[in-house]
A = this chain, B = another copy of it.
Amino acid sequence: MPLVRIGVLASGRGSNLQAIIAAIQARTIEASIAVVISNNQHSVALDRARHHGLEGVYIDPRACAQEPDPHQAYDRKILQVLEKFDVQLVTLAGYMKIVTPALIQAYQWRMMNIHPSLLPAFPRLNAQKQAMEWGAKISGCTVHFVTEGVDEGPIIIQASVPIQEEDTVETLSARILEQEHRVYPQAIQLFAEGKLSVEGRRVRIIDPGPN
């Protein structure tokens, strides 16, 4: 079976990108990274990509600033790159930019995000801080398909993480990140094996049988 071609969208340090690269190297997921795209020229994720001999593409958001809808225009540029590299699955990895319908619809049920809480609790920014401030005793992370409702897409995998008495946002974030690095490759592998089926809001994990 040919490897699933992944496009990774990242803005920051790309630790989830690193986890995906490690899982590919360890052959625990049957995928290859076709391209890493960033909206941040100085993203460590781009450095990581190049360090591993992967394609790393920076797309400058300012190039779309004069368009009638700069976000959509930007996503059309991303789409061109994804298509150029024949990407089958898009994974958002610390991608700090709203994804617009142009991109979401082109990759419906083929675009995943990871979020550092047990959604629907603590959506959007600073999820770990939200959990701490709410006084939650358990949080975690969620891999979900991307839909137009931010952090509302069908859930593929979740992992729970205890919040401990002495935790700070930093220690909690680190504990959640360990689980992110474990479950994101798992979700990608389920996709690669054709085991994910979306029924309404629910993601069924099915056995596609011999192929």
Per-residue 0/1 for A192-211: is the Cβ within 8 Å of any B Cβ (1 yes, 0 no)? 00000000111111000000
Roughly how many angstroms separate A122 CA and B120 CA in the complex, as a whole number? 8
Check B134 against A158 for contact (C-beta < 8 Å). Answer: no
The answer, yes or no, to whether A14 is at the interface (CB within 8 Å) is: no
Check A136 against B165 for contact (C-beta < 8 Å). Answer: no
Contacts of A157 in B (CB 8 A): 137
The answer, yes or no, to whether A135 is at the interface (CB within 8 Å) is: yes
Given contacts A118-B118, A121-B118, A204-B165, contact A158 B136 (CB under 8 A): yes
Contacts of A56 in B (CB 8 A): none
The answer, yes or no, to whether A69 is at the interface (CB within 8 Å) is: no
Chain A residues numbered 12-51 whose CB sits less than 8 Å from any CB in chain B: none
- Identify A202's interface contact among B121, B135, B159, B204, CB under 8 A: B135
Given contacts A165-B205, A204-B165, A205-B165, contact A118 B138 (CB under 8 A): yes
